[in-house]
């Protein structure tokens, strides 16, 4: 005879067994289901592109006028070189958050929106070479925190603000070759602590004080003699070419040292303080002057009155006479 306390136990056990069996069958079915549906999981390929390798979309040389829409979040590599993408709008690569490599060479690219690269936090290689970029907005590359290599070679950049690159902690290769740069902004290299390969050839560098940070960087990062020889700057005034690496720190002795934070604070404080001080001095001088004048005038009137008094016919004549005094209107004015 079963006791009532034993009775409920077999039921949960049976349920557990059934559950286990069903889970096992689901596990067993999944791979077979995938195998039946044909090729392995391929990220959805952008239209017109070919996706031979998993995670790689080859959209090279297809005369595409824009970045394909609806990029997959499984995409690792996007080859968009030799197309006709003239502008990158905000969020151009939205969705492709796992992208590691982006090739945008030879597109005739003229403008890159400030938020074009938003969402590409994993990107390591970005090639923007052989385009027609003239400027880059501040913050353009700041979402690319994982960027290792950036090429801006063969564009028309005449100025590269440090804020355009921002702080790229992992960037080790930067190419600025064949642009129109004459100086490198002082703060630019400061935001790139991992940089060790900097390509600078083919720019009209001007040998001047503004080149000091670059020369300092070059001295700390020696390069092959053949490459160093090709890094030339044009002396202002003279048309002589000098290698950038030839400038020692002594060559910049005549240049003003950059100001320290304390100096700047003093300079900023000095402006308003000197303004207030000059205002106070003016007021004080003005009041002293008017006081002196008033006293002198008073003395003069006091000195003039006694000689007039004797011919004075009466006390009632005194009032009109003083108002007719030539010194009086001036005193009122
Ligand atoms: C991409 O496609 C083009 C043309 O179809 C081909 O020439 C090129 O080799 C491909 N690139 C890669 C990396 O597969």
Distance 60 CA to ligand 1 centre (A): 6
Higher-pLDDT residue of 193, 238: 193
Residue 204 has pLDDT above 80, yes or no: yes
CB 233 within 8 A of CB 244: yes
Q: What is the 8-class DSSP label of residue 46? A: P
pLDDT at 127: 98
| CA–CA separation, 50 and 159 (whole Å) | 37
pLDDT digits (tens, 9 = 90+) for 112-149: 999 999 999 999 999 999 999 999 999 999 999 999 99
Q: Residues near 274 by Cβ (< 8 Å), separated by ≥ 6?
A: none
> How far does residue 58's CA lie from ligand 1's centre (Å)?
6
Provide Rg for the chain, Cα atoms: 41
The rounded Å distance from CA 187 to ligand 1 centre is: 39
Structure confidence by residue, pLDDT tens digits, 277-312: 888 887 888 888 888 788 888 888 877 666 555 555
Ligand 1: residues whose CB is within 6 Å? 58, 60, 79
Mean pLDDT, the chain, as a whole number?
79
The residue contributing the CA closest to ligand 1 atom 12 is 58
Name residue, tokens 């006081």: 291
Residue 225: the pLDDT is: 64
Q: Give the lowest-confidence range in 11-25, 82-96, 109-123, 221-235.
A: 11-25
What's the confidence (pLDDT) of residue 8? 45
Question: Mean pLDDT throughout 175-191?
Answer: 90
Of 128, 143, 113, 243, the C-alpha closest to 179 is 128
**Cβ atoms of 198 and 149 closer than 8 Å:** no
- At 181 the pLDDT is 93
User: Distance from the CA of 224 to the center of ligand 1, in angstroms?
Assistant: 33
- Helix or strand holding residue 242 (H, E): strand 241-243
Q: How confident is the model at residue 169 (pLDDT cuts 50, 70, 90)?
A: very high
- Higher per-residue pLDDT: 20 or 148: 148
**Residues in the chain, total:** 333
Average pLDDT, integer, range 36-41:
41
Q: What separation in angstroms does the CA of 213 have from each of 153, 188, 189, 297?
A: 21, 9, 8, 67
Instruction: Give nearest CA residue, ligand 1 atom 4.
Output: 60
Ligand 1 atom nearest residue 58's Cα: 1
Cβ atoms 179, 159 nearer than 8 A: no
Range with top average pLDDT, 30-44, 131-145, 182-196 = 131-145
* CA 39 – CA 37 distance, rounded (Å): 7
Q: Give the pLDDT of residue 53.
A: 77
Burial class (CB in 10 A: 0-12, 13-18, 19+), 325: middle
Task: Say whether pLDDT at 85 is over 90.
Answer: yes
CB count in 10 Å sphere of residue 137: 15
Q: Higher pLDDT residue, 19 or 67? A: 67
54 CA to centre of ligand 1 in angstroms: 14
Mean pLDDT of 76-96: 95
Measured in angstroms, how far is the CA atom of residue 16 from the centroid of ligand 1? 54
Alpha carbon separation from 250 to 1, 255, 275 (Å, rounded): 106, 10, 39
Ranges 9-18, 42-51, 200-209, most confident: 200-209
What does the block give as tokens for 71? 């990029």
pLDDT score of 42 more than 70: no
Among 170-179, 215-224, 299-308, 324-333, the range scoring the smallest mean pLDDT is 324-333
* Residue of 57, 58, 83, 100 with the most ligand 1 atoms within 8 Å of its CB, for mutation: 58
Q: Which residue has the higher pLDDT, 112 or 29?
A: 112
Statement: residue 76 has pLDDT above 90: yes
pLDDT recorded at residue 308? 54
Residue nearest to ligand 1 atom 6, measured at CA: 60
Claim: this prediction has a pTM higher than 0.75: no
Residue 96 has pLDDT above 70, yes or no: yes
- 11 forms beta bridges with none
Contacts of 207 (CB under 8 A, 6+ apart): 233, 234, 235, 236, 242, 247
Instruction: Check whether 60 has a pLDDT greater than 80.
Output: yes
């Amino acid at each position: 005879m079963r006791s009532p306390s034993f009775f409920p136990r077999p039921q949960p056990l049976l349920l557990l067994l059934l559950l286990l069996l069903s889970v096992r069958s689901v596990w067993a079915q999944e791979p077979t289901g995938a195998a039946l549906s044909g090729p392995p999981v391929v990220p959805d390929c952008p239209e017109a592109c070919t996706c031979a390798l998993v995670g790689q979309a080859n959209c090279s040389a297809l005369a595409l006028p824009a970045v394909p829409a609806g990029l997959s979040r499984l995409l690792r590599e996007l080859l968009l070189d030799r197309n006709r993408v003239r502008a990158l709008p905000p969020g151009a690569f939205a969705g492709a958050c796992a992208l590691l490599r982006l090739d945008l060479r030879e597109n005739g690219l003229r403008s890159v929106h400030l938020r074009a690269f938003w969402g590409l936090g994993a990107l390591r290689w970005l090639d923007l070479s052989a385009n027609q970029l003239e400027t880059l907005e501040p913050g353009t590359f700041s979402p690319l925190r994982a960027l290792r290599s950036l090429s801006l070679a063969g564009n028309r950049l005449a100025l590269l603000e440090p804020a355009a690159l921002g702080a790229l902690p992992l960037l080790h290769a930067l190419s600025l070759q064949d642009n129109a740069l004459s100086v490198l902004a002082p703060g630019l290299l400061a935001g790139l602590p991992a940089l060790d390969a900097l390509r600078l050839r083919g720019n009209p560098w001007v040998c001047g004080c503004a080149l000091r940070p670059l020369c300092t960087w070059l001295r700390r990062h020696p390069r092959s003699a053949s490459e160093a020889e090709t890094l030339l700057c044009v002396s202002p005034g003279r048309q002589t070419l000098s290698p950038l690496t030839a400038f020692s720190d002594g060559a910049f002795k005549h240049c003003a040292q950059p100001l320290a934070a304390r100096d700047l604070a003093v300079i900023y404080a000095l402006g308003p303080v000197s303004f207030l001080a000059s205002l106070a001095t003016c007021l004080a001088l003005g009041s002293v002057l008017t006081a002196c004048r008033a006293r002198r005038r008073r003395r003069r009137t006091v000195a003039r009155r006694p000689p007039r008094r004797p011919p004075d016919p009466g006390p009632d004549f005194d009032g009109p006479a003083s108002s007719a005094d030539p010194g009086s209107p001036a005193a009122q004015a």
